[in-house]
Amino acid sequence: MPWDEGLVNSLVYDEPDPKEGRVLGYAEAIHEALSILMEKREDVFVLGQGVDDPTGMFGTTRGLKERFGPERVFDTPLSEEGMTGVCVGAAMNGLRPVYFHNRPDFILLTMNQLVSHGAKASYMDNGQTRVPMVIWSAIGRGWGSGAQHSQAIQGLLLGVPGLKIVMPSNPFDAKGLLISAIEDNNPVLVFEHRWLMKQKGVVPPGYYRVPLGKGVYRRRGKDLTVVGTSHALHLAQQALDSLEKESITADVIDLRCLKPLDEEIVLASVAKTGKILIVDTGWAMGGACAEIGCLVAEKGFRSLRAPIRRVGLPDCPTPAGATLETFFYPSVDTMVGAIRRLHKE
């Protein structure tokens, strides 16, 4: 879609200061994580539709086939459930597959292998079998892809025991979390946001890990707590920047992972501010927003001075047209309105 490609290319992120360290693009950070682990561990292999083509999944897998060979980096057929079964079997037998999907929608075709087999294996045999595999995909917003190629399904998978869910928001985390995901002994789903692929950040060279299930403060404030992951958190921070003239400040917590969820950091912040806004790139109903809201209602109710608020997608399929997308997806203005209302409550 030319109009939408132009929209994505028009995204502007703050450039990091090179004095703070080496600057790397988001996709380059993912590529580096894969390269380091494939160099370090012969049990890691990469598969998926287009992982060996010239574009290489937004550049994340570009050149890996030439470097590590077709036995460890290879294209796959339109058989997502079958290939996920291959990954589950390979992981059970000591390998660490990283299965790339360019859209989370294709994960819906893998549910039998992923949910009924991969996620359950270690529970069914008392931990004797491990399934160390990663399913990677990029949320498709910004391509005008409509209802079947732009879904953010992390909320659907949040309730599946045995699955871990990672959602980075910057290049540093994209690299460190992917390394942790690949080295984890359980199935891990990594959801990137396509709009973050244009972002640059300070990324140390070499091997490092960002722990799964450990959130981090992106900023500190006094009036409310904003919790979320991925691109939604960027929108919220832009909104807070525009509200500085109104002296509204907030704790901003990047969870990094939806599962395991860092409950401690959320509850500690709510105990201080008394108000919480949860933001997500997926549907507001029944997903990450609802789960985190329930957590605060169960364990932090006495700290609350206002109702729990959330910003996510409306309860309808994604439209494809540019005009309808404008109303469907939350924007900085959406975040500004939500923060301002919560501040007044």
Catalytic (active-site) positions: 149
Of 29, 24, 69, which Cα lies nearest the Cα of 51? 69
Angle (nearest 5°) at CA 223 between 219 and 229: 45
CA dist 257 → 51, 212, 215 (Å): 25, 6, 7
Paired tokens of 142? 């910004």
Give the DSSP per-residue string, 314-325.
Answer: -SSPPP-SHHHH
Q: Any residues with CB less than 8 A from the CB of 9 and at least 6 apart, and which?
A: 198
CA atoms of 286 and 47, how far apart (whole Å): 31
Q: How far is CA 153 from the centre of its chain?
A: 10
Q: Counting Cβ atoms within 10 Å, is residue 202 exposed (0-12), middle (13-18) or buried (19+)?
A: middle
What is the separation, in whole angstroms, between the first and last Cα of the chain?
42
